A and B are shown apart, each in its own frame.
Chain A
Amino acid sequence: MNSKRRVFLKGTLAAGTVGVAVGAGLLTPSTVLASAREGFEAGSISDALQSVMGSDSHDSGDITISAPELAENGAVVPITVESSLTGVTDIAILAAANNTPLTSSYKLGEGTKAYVATRIKMGESSDIVAVLKSNGQLYSSSREVKVTIGGCGG
């Protein structure tokens, strides 16, 4: 019974240490939970990639972006990103002219294909940038989408 009490005390002590660190501002709750979320606040593609991928240096790679050339409604722009690169662990989709360019990022498990399709909002005509991490190296590709009516305001 006593040993259980010891374990319990140790547990509260450890939790207390983290709590103190959070309280002292060493660790903000957001960094503890998900530092990757910062990418969604970033105002530039470079900052967003630093946050999501840990680097912003990338080569052009064999990535296919399927998107309409002209999107009438910026609120719903279908995007498909696909690549023949192997060992892809991460995919990010960015709309260059949005206030915060990062729309979404994806972590792929082993055996998951380098393929993702979704629908995004675009504020105005701009490049769609897809960035992939393959075997630790970043590759990117971009494609212009013209938007008739922006899909961010209202």
Chain B
Amino acid sequence: MSSIRVRAQLSDGVTNVRALISHPMETGQRTDSGGNTIPAHYITEVKASLGDREILTANWGPAISRNPYLSFQFEGASSGDTLDISWVDNNGESDSTQVRIS
């Protein structure tokens, strides 16, 4: 299952996107019960595109909350179009998903 849950709804020509990503977003400043630093592990970039069209690129630091939420809006899409969403984290892990605009 994808780590990204996303809805994209078209209303009055504006597509409203709401995405929820499962990710620990560790800052690297926290310590575990044994006093060891928990290494930083956070998403650095989220990209949304509609075919060749770049809709949004989010650059994130560790100050984005755990299991991040991201919402944005754009014009010019039609119902049934496919929106691509992907993320990359500081460890080089990544995931992507597609959503049909409804």
List A residues at the B interface (Cβ < 8 Å).
34, 36-37, 39-40, 52, 75-78, 80, 95, 98, 100, 102-113, 115-122, 151-154
Contact = CB atoms under 8 A, between A and B. Distances in A.
Contacts of B65: 75-77, 118-121, 151
Query: Chain B interface residue count: which class?
Result: 20 to 34
B64 A120 contact: yes
A36 B72 contact: no
10 contacts: A37-B59, A104-B58, A107-B54, A109-B55, A112-B74, A113-B73, A113-B74, A118-B71, A121-B27, A121-B64
A119 B29 contact: no
Interface of B: 14, 27, 29-31, 38, 44, 53-66, 68-76
Contacts of A107: 54, 56-57, 59
B30 A154 contact: yes
Nearest to A116: B72
A110 B65 CA distance: 28
B61 A116 contact: no
Contacts of B14: 113
A37 B53 CA distance: 23
